[in-house]
Amino acid sequence: MSADMAPPPPLDDPVERYAVELAAALRGPAGARERLVVEVRDGLAETVAAYEAAGVPAERAVREAVAEFGSVAEVAASCQRELTVAQARHTARALALTGPFLLACWWLVRGTGDGQGGVSGFAQQVAVQLSSAAAVAVVLAALALAATGAWGRWLPVATERLPAAVAWTGTAASVAMAVTTLTLATAAFLAEQWPLTVLAGALAAASHAVVAGSARVCRECARLSSREPAVA
C-alpha cells in the first residue's frame, strides 16, 4: 500500500491524540501551525518507538516520551511564540497590502467634487483620513516586518511587544475601513460622480476584509503568548 493510501492513525493513538490537542491549543497561520504540529507529532512518535525498541512497555514508553517532550501546555507555549511572530508578520503584510487600496480610495474620492461643502466636502475629508491611514499602515507594516525579521535578534523587547501593537493597530484600521465603507456607501446616493464613490467604498470594503480577520487572529496569538505555561 502506498504512503498516500496508508490508513489514518487510530483515534486512541496517544501520539495522535497529543497532536490533536496541541493543534487545538495553537493559533496562527494555518501552514505554520500545521508544520509545527507535524514536527512535534513525528518527533514524539520517534521517541516512543525508541523507548519501545529498548524494551519499555508501550504505555510506559508513551509516558516517558511525553515527559521528555513536555506536556501539551508546555509545548504549546513554546510553539505559540513562533506562531505569534508569524501571525504578526502576516497581519503586517495585510496592512502593507491595503496601503495601495486606501491610496486608490483617496485618489477616487478626490474626483467626486470640488470640495466646497456638502457631500463633496465630506468626501474630501474622508479622502484625507484614508490617505493618512494608508501612510500609517505602510510605515507600521515596514517596521513590524523588519523587527520580526532580520532585526529581531537586536530588538528582542520590540519583538515581544510588537505582535500586540500590530494586532490592535490592524483592528483599529479595520474598524476605520468598515466605517469608511458605510460612509461612502451612503454618500454615493448624493454624490454627482457616484460611480467613483461606490468604487472607493468597494476598495475600502476589500481592505477591511483583508485586515480584519488577520488582526483578530493576531490578537488571539498575542493573548496566548502573554500567558505563562502551566507548571506541573
| pLDDT, tens digit, 9 for 90 and up, residues 9-36 | 455 789 999 999 999 999 999 999 999 9
What is the residue-averaged pLDDT of the chain?
Answer: 76
- 137 pLDDT higher than 50: yes
Residue 189 burial by Cβ neighbours in a 10 Å radius (0-12, 13-18, 19+) = exposed
Which is more confidently placed, 95 or 188?
95
| Residue 96 banded pLDDT, cuts 50, 70, 90 | confident
- 57 pLDDT higher than 60: yes
CA angle 90, 82, 84 (to 5 degrees): 45
In this prediction, residue 33 carries a pLDDT of: 94
- 205 pLDDT higher than 80: yes
Span 191-205, mean pLDDT?
Answer: 74
Gap between the Cα atoms of 41 and 180, Å rounded: 46
Please state which of the ranges 31-35, 89-93, 180-184, 214-218 shows the lowest mean pLDDT: 180-184
Enter the DSSP assignment of 154. Answer: T
Contact 142, 93 (CB under 8 A): no
Which is more confidently placed, 164 or 141?
164
In this prediction, residue 31 carries a pLDDT of: 92
- 40 pLDDT higher than 80: yes
In this prediction, residue 190 carries a pLDDT of: 64
What is the model's pTM? 0.71
